[in-house]
Amino acid sequence: MPLSQVEPARYDTLLAEKVERVRALLAPYHPPTPEVFSSPTLGYRMRAEFRVWHDGDALDYVMFRPEDRKTPVPITHFPIACDAIRSLMPALITQLRGQPLLRRKLFQVEFLSTLSGDTLVTLVYHRRLEDDWDTAAAELASLLDISIVGRSRRQKRVIGLDYVVEELPVNEGIFRYRQYEQAFTQPNARVNTRMIEWACRQASGLPGNLLELYCGNGNFTLPLAACFEQLIATELSKRSVKAARENLELNGIGNVEIIRLAAEEVSQAMLGEREFRRLAHLPRALPDYDLQSLFVDPPRAGLDDATVHLAAAFPAILYISCNPETLAANLAVLCESHSPEAFALFDQFPYTDHMECGVLLTRRRMLPA
């Protein structure tokens, strides 16, 4: 997103335009009037990454315009980043400029921070890192009070930790999350909190136990666990499964089982079409868990056909979408059997066309013949 599009004075107008576009797109499926959750107009991003541009002794963060991928645009101020990242950016680049060992063939800088200010920086190189890099990076990490990860081809060197610990205030509690560098996390922590709270309100009173697909590091899993006797959460990424299990332990949550399966594999397991050794640790088979409610937060591609078919078998479906277009395609099928009962829009990405959606669908009662 070009920084020229960051216009706080026009934020309300731009948000209203996005809301109307999404409402028009989803109107054929007759959702109720949406709750709309706005974002802070500045300082909302907990992640940022920049290319690094070398020009003699000069060293700068840069970005590139979509229409011109060859001309670097120096970034001296990034107003949409959180306070911790904004304050760290000039201090870090100043130190890197004076450190030949740390700046040599440095290609990219990635920032990951939290609401509490816990911050990690990843330095990406086009060269192999040796022990002398560790020494210099450790001095820099101590000076700036951060963790640093150095990456190059088939290499990862960690100074401090390779994760931050986020603390999200959800309803009246605090949930703690380990968020690993270069793993997916929600970029807008304050809007993410509103998404989680909305999902928990909708989940309260839903039937049976919950099956969650695409659980990631447990972003929704942890708070949703309080709404059900048992929650089965699935995720394919080994790294995300590791983080989710650590986050369950970190928060003392004991009624969740994490299983490493792709969404289409869950369909096969639920229907008894295939046995998976990755389910051997479960005390009983998936169909025996009284899974009557489904929570999904799929990638931008939405739900594949097999997963839509699986979803349609649940009395209640709670769907978080990062792509209204694929959500509309999925609703075209799901609304043959279900009705939208609640609808919400979350502005995770101000000043862009992106909008996160939340929909609660419940199965319509079939009239007797």
Rounded Cα gap, residues 260 and 279, in angstroms: 8
Of 215, 227, 356, 357, which one is the catalytic site residue? 356
322 classed as catalytic: yes
CA–CA separation, 15 vs 165, rounded Å? 31
- Residue 151: helix, strand or coil by DSSP? strand
Q: Is 197 exposed, middle or buried (0-12, 13-18, 19+ CB in 10 A)?
A: middle
Maximum CA extent, the chain: 80
Q: b/e per residue, 260-297, with b = 16+ CB within 10 A?
A: bbbbebbbbbbeeeeeeeebeeeeeebeebebbbbbbb
Q: Is 356 an active-site residue?
A: yes
Report the C-alpha gap between 226 and 212 in whole angstroms.
Answer: 14
Q: Which residue has the tokens 């009705």?
A: 339
Q: What share of the chain is helix, strand, coil (3-state, %, to 5)?
A: 35, 30, 35
Pick the catalytic residue from 82, 322, 335, 357: 322
Q: Which residues are catalytic?
A: 322, 356
